[in-house]
Structure 1
């Protein structure tokens, strides 16, 4: 009893190496195209969600500004009643906000001074040309 080759084995035996490489290349190209389509779809969905979240955060920021404004007006009027002068109470509230702004500015400026960018990436990118030169020497 002789072993008969399966259709797959027969096809592999009858197909040239060039045809097999071409088939693998087409399959790989098709796979990469499908992966790119999937990535685009996922990124599109993520971008939509990020946009929605950013819009909601913007709305929350606006609401917070309005709350701070009306609390400042309430403090202005309360101080006005307390010291019997709306003008001076407005100055007091403005000075409080100026102090808060100064503190936030100083803290923010100090934080910005500590930003280093991407030093590791810069170093590794600098190494790429040297690595390529070594590869060319090894040929």
Structure 2
């Protein structure tokens, strides 16, 4: 009850609440917009970092290939001290071919395990759920 002893009317009691609700709605809208801008800026920064990281990984992969080529040349040079150069190169090439074949077989095995590219267990589970729901709906 106000200090002057009068009773507040419904309109005066509702006005401040309405203003508070309106202000809260505006502040919430502004907060959501600010958070969206912050998220956008953060994702943009992360995207740039992912791009740089991907480029650096690509460069590292290229350097790795060059390193392996240098290692192969070193192995050929070392073997050529006791064998003819052609024999040393043939031995190193044979070893690299064997490593390649093993890696290809292991990679194919992993891909075969992943095929077909659909969540088979989940599909079976969903089908079972649907069947159970249909069964219960028919009762």
Give the TM-score normalised by structure 1: 0.64
Give the TM-score normalised by structure 2: 0.64
- Mark the CA change 1:100 to 1:11 in structure 2 (over 3 Å): closer, same or farther: farther
- Between Structure 1 and Structure 2, how many residues are aligned? 118
> Structure 2: where are the runs of 5+ without partners?
5-10, 131-139
Distance 1:109 1:20 in 2: 65
- When the two chains are superposed, the root-mean-square deviation of aligned CA atoms in Å is 3.5
> Structure 1: where are the runs of 5+ without partners?
5-9, 131-139
Compute the displacement of 1:14 (Å).
2.3
Residue equivalent to 1:7: none
Q: Provide Cα deviations, 1:21-76, integer angstroms capped at 9, x if missing partner.
A: 77665554433322221111111111111122222222222222111111111111
Whether 2:79 is the aligned partner of 1:69: answer: no
Alignment of 1:28-47 (within 5 A): 28-47=28-47
- Mark the CA change 1:49 to 1:27 in structure 2 (over 3 Å): closer, same or farther: same
Distance 2:39 2:118 in 1: 26
Whether 2:93 is the aligned partner of 1:99: answer: no
- Mark the CA change 1:33 to 1:64 in structure 2 (over 3 Å): closer, same or farther: same
- Mark the CA change 1:118 to 1:2 in structure 2 (over 3 Å): closer, same or farther: same
Identify the range of structure 1 (23-32 vs 74-83) with the bigger mean alpha-carbon deviation.
23-32
